[in-house]
Amino acid sequence: MGESSKAKAERLAEVYSILESRYPDARLRLDFSTALDLLVASILAARCRDDVVNRTTKSLFAKYRTAKDYADANVETLEAQLGGLPMFRRKARSIKAACEALVAEHGGEVPADVNALTALKGVGRKTANLVLSNAFGQPAIVVDTHVLRICRRLGISSEAEDPGQTEQALMKILPEKRWSHLAHIFSDFGRDICSARNPKCALCPVAELCPSFKG
């Protein structure tokens, strides 16, 4: 018989508590001042390290301050400014299209609604939740590569479950007050200990709570 939802919730609560103490400074690593800044940075962060994105957005945010600025931008000029990032052409076009929609449909403002956000070009559930939780203070679970990998290793979700299914699994067993901070804690833990390749299981503070730990 598999682990009950109650037992899984209790185990996750203990994992969360241990990692929260281990990483007291866990936070979003993308720099932003406004919801628009964060939306743009989140689109740029796909398959790219946060520190690399931050180096790019420092000058980008100084030049483009409103959704209309991006919407009116020449796409080739925008591409050139993003040239050091992976998939920069696709990202430039996504940002321009998303901001055109913001101007046309939302008065140039970033909506605080998951359905409205995911309707924008280049914005999936992960990006929408990241904006909602960090720019608007709404409880939302961001399932990035770290969260997905760690949840699978912890047995919170299975290898077959995608990010959306993992988000739903977490929502069922994690108190809402912890939704937004989970990704910050798991991201630091994923970089520090539970890496994709060669995880440092012998140094893991939650090894005894992890079914993937071989001892």
Catalytic residues: 126, 144
Dihedral sign for Cα 76, 69, 31, 132, please: negative
Q: What is the CA radius of gyration of the chain?
A: 18
Closest of 19, 42, 49 to residue 185, by C-alpha: 19
Ordered DSSP codes for 133-200: HHHS--------HHHHHHHHHHTSS-TT--HHHHHHHHHHHS-GGGHHHHHHHHHHHHHHTS-SSS--
Closest of 46, 190, 19 to residue 125, by C-alpha: 46
Structure tokens at 173: 């067993």
